[in-house]
């Protein structure tokens, strides 16, 4: 039997892994579940990704591309005349008014680094790039790191609690922290 040429198979497997995590969480990720979602033989998933950690790394890398593109657009649109607290509140508000399932998926993959050591450098690379992008725009890496951490915390808290976003409370709190 001739081998079927399938140059997109690896990408379909990554996309399927992201879909499985989106539906079932990290706990639902398995080579078998991904193979079924990608409609490929089980051997294809283990051929391209010998371990689940390798698959998680690929999924997080792909998720990071989208996340960083969104963040870079925000950085590019920061109004230099506006207080940074105002701009950060706008970022959090825009993020929370977006696709909640996408945000949950991004955080699920991001937080997988807590239990999967191989994934930690990928999560750290994303954070470092966010700090670099913002730091270059505002001229202060320490403040940029704080803003990235605050933004992550605010978004994650709202995703977890489901509380309505209060932009004024966030602006006032950020103004107190950022000065």
CATH code of the domain containing 82: 1.10.357.10
Name the pTM for this structure.
0.87
Q: What angle do CA 15, 21, 27 make, to 5 degrees?
A: 140
Helix 141-161 and helix 120-138, axial crossing angle in degrees, nearest 10: 120
How confident is residue 171, by pLDDT bands cut at 50, 70 and 90? confident
Domain check: are 115 and 135 in the same one? Answer: yes
Domain check: are 70 and 110 in the same one? Answer: yes
Domain check: are 150 and 87 in the same one? Answer: yes
Which residues, including other chains, have CB under 8 Å from residue 64's CB and lie 6 or more apart? 122, 125, 126
Domain check: are 2 and 81 in the same one? Answer: no
Tallying the residues shown for the chain, one arrives at 179
Query: What do you get for the CA distance between the two ends of the chain, in Å?
Result: 69
d(CA 64, CA 18): 12
Domain check: are 61 and 148 in the same one? Answer: yes
Model confidence over 55-96: pLDDT tens digits?
999 999 999 999 999 999 999 999 999 999 999 999 999 998
| pLDDT greater than 70 at residue 104 | yes
Does residue 17 or residue 1 have the better pLDDT?
17
Domain check: are 2 and 29 in the same one? Answer: yes
Domain check: are 35 and 83 in the same one? Answer: no
Domain check: are 138 and 82 in the same one? Answer: yes
Domain check: are 111 and 165 in the same one? Answer: yes
Domain check: are 93 and 170 in the same one? Answer: yes
The parent domain of residue 29 ranges over 1-50
Model confidence over 114-130: pLDDT tens digits?
999 999 999 999 999 99
Number of domains making up the chain: 2
Model confidence over 22-46: pLDDT tens digits?
999 999 999 999 999 999 999 999 9
Domain check: are 73 and 156 in the same one? Answer: yes
């Amino acid at each position: 039997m001739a081998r079927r040429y399938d140059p997109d198979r690896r990408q379909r497997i990554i996309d399927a892994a992201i879909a499985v995590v989106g539906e079932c969480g990290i706990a639902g990720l398995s080579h078998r579940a991904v193979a079924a979602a990608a409609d490929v033989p089980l051997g294809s998933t283990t051929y391209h990704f010998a371990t689940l950690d390798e698959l998680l790394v690929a999924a997080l890398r792909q998720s990071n591309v989208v996340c960083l593109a969104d963040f870079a657009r925000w950085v590019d649109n920061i109004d230099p005349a506006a207080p940074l607290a105002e701009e950060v509140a706008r970022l959090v508000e825009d993020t929370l008014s977006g696709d909640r399932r996408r945000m949950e998926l991004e955080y699920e993959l991001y937080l997988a680094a807590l239990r999967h050591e191989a994934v930690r450098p990928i999560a750290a690379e994303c954070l470092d790039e966010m700090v670099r992008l913002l730091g270059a725009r505002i001229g202060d890496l320490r403040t940029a790191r704080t803003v990235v951490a605050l933004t992550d915390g605010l978004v994650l808290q709202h995703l977890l609690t489901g509380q309505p976003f209060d932009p004024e409370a966030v602006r006032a709190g950020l103004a107190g922290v950022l000065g």
